[in-house]
Amino acid sequence: MALLLALAITAITLVSMYFFAAKTWWMPPFISEYGAAYDSHFMLTMTAMGIIFFFAQLGLAYVIFRYRDQGKKAGYSHGNNTMEVLWTSATAVLFVGLVLFGQHIWAQAHLGPIDPNALRVELWGQQFVWYARYPGPDGQFGRTLPELMKESAGNPLGLDPDDPTSKDDVVMPVMAVPVNRQVELILRSKDVIHNFFVRELRLKQDAVPGLETRLHFTASQIGNYEIPCSELCGLGHYQMRSFLQVKSPEEFEQWLRENAPPQ
């Protein structure tokens, strides 16, 4: 029985490692400037964890077989403090090391220089939809007031009609951006924490109520990419998704014009 269990554990280990190594289920190709660095960091993490996983599982299988029931009385072991300290510190060093090694990718997307020509877009999360807001021809986001937020009145973000800069703001349930132009994304939330995640951009960031979280990216492939909310935000979380539509500059301008509010 012990041998069977040990063999089963070994088999499960090898099969699951095969699927990771063969990249059977993998992320789609990346379309942002962070993709290459992100993927190589991801591979580094996966390789390090894969090696540890392999030896830990083999160790488990060995121990199951080695200490199988042989009809003897079980003995008590208090463990080994030196080993405890050793592997706990090794784990800590490994995790902190990986974070330090990868933090430049995060810093680049959040704190790196922004092109003055970048397109500014706000993306608002609410239970359970996304709204993208563009500042319109005046280049300024108008004032929003929580008491004016009313979906049935066609004003989900509460644009203040008394603020002239809000009149040309474009609010859409999908987010379109032009290809090969930097986008400064400002994440906001109306209620709880949501999470912006586009696999192809290799970007994932919380949208927190009361905060404007800024990050920037340049999409290099025209296409339609899913934005699933990636923070468990309530009962309707499963249906909270929108799309990032990467368009040619001409198509993007046309899209923006077509969806501009009547003046």
Residues that bind Cu ion (CB under 5 A): 194, 229, 233, 240
Instruction: For the CB of residue 229, give the shortest distance to Cu ion in the complex, in Å.
Output: 3
Q: Report how far apart, in Å, the C-alpha atoms of 76 and of each of 63, 73, 136, 233 are.
A: 15, 10, 73, 46
| C-beta closer to Cu ion: residue 13 or 242 | 242
Instruction: For the CB of residue 241, give the shortest distance to Cu ion in the complex, in Å.
Output: 9
CA distance 59 to 20: 20
Q: Report how far apart, in Å, the C-alpha atoms of 158 and of each of 119, 154, 169, 213 are.
A: 22, 9, 11, 19
| C-beta closer to Cu ion: residue 33 or 231 | 231
Instruction: For the CB of residue 84, give the shortest distance to Cu ion in the complex, in Å.
Output: 40
3-state SS of 98-151 is HHHHHHHHHHHHHHCCCCCCCEEEEEEEECCEEEEEECCCCCCCCCECHHHCEC
Instruction: For the CB of residue 24, give the shortest distance to Cu ion in the complex, in Å.
Output: 29
| C-beta closer to Cu ion: residue 106 or 128 | 128
Of 241, 217, 243, nearest to 230 by C-alpha is 241
| C-beta closer to Cu ion: residue 159 or 229 | 229
| C-beta closer to Cu ion: residue 64 or 201 | 201
Amino acid residing at 74: A
Instruction: For the CB of residue 242, give the shortest distance to Cu ion in the complex, in Å.
Output: 10
